[in-house]
Amino acid sequence: MFYSDLPKIFGPNPLYKEDEGIAILRVKYGIEAPDQIFKQIYCGLSNNPEFQALYGHLNLKSLKWDLVRLKTSELTKFGRNATYPDFMLEISEDFNTYGNNFCIDAREEVAEHWLEFGTWDEPPMFIERSLISSGESGLHLMEGHKRLGTLLGAIKYGFAQLADTHELYIASKK
């Protein structure tokens, strides 16, 4: 099953409810991924035209998702390697624009998590760039632009004491 096939299951007029569709992907198609990946990327964003353009060719059964920890300094090296690079960079400048906790997140529980733990409350999702563009190396941010943008803003403006490492999901070829 390819990413481009997902709108048939989770399309604008979905054939199945989210949980039913995820169960079909797991059982019928043998796709393995953490729940967060199923809900956010496979279900929630499968109708997004930009996601289809970038990831439609991906064979979901050939992907392996790992939860890893990277040092803060490693997370500054992505540049524009993201689905929505401009949005991520805009978020990183919110502190400079608005000041106070608005730059962390308008949701109080998310802002509190950043201030208490110095990291995101839910890992962002990356993919090896070679899987979306042959000959490329490094990682590409699929989902979690606000999270990474907030981290980059915290590095630049120091509005939160950051943890030394941060969890993230990385998709690679099995």
Express each pLDDT in 14-63 by its tens digit.
Answer: 677 889 989 999 999 999 999 999 999 999 899 999 999 999 999 999 99
| Calpha distance 107→87 (Å, rounded) | 18
Q: Does residue 30 sit in the same domain as residue 74?
A: no
Structure tokens at 96: 């400079």
Round to whole Å and give the CA distance between 157 and 93. Answer: 9
Alpha carbons 114 and 100: distance in angstroms, whole number: 13
- Percentage of the chain beyond pLDDT 70 is 93
Give me the residue label for tokens 């004491």: 161
Among 156, 172, 168, residue whose Cα is nearest residue 119? 168
Do 48 and 83 fall into the same domain? no
Residues 71 and 38 occupy one common structural domain: no
The domain in which residue 10 lies consists of 3-58
Q: Look at residues 45, 110, 50 and name the one whose alpha carbon lies nearest to residue 84.
A: 50
Are 87 and 134 members of one domain? yes
Q: Pairing relation of β-strands 125-128 and 165-173?
A: parallel
Count the domains in the chain: 2
Secondary-structure breakdown of the chain: helix, strand, coil percentages, each rounded to the nearest 5: 50, 15, 35
Residues 79 and 114 in one domain: yes
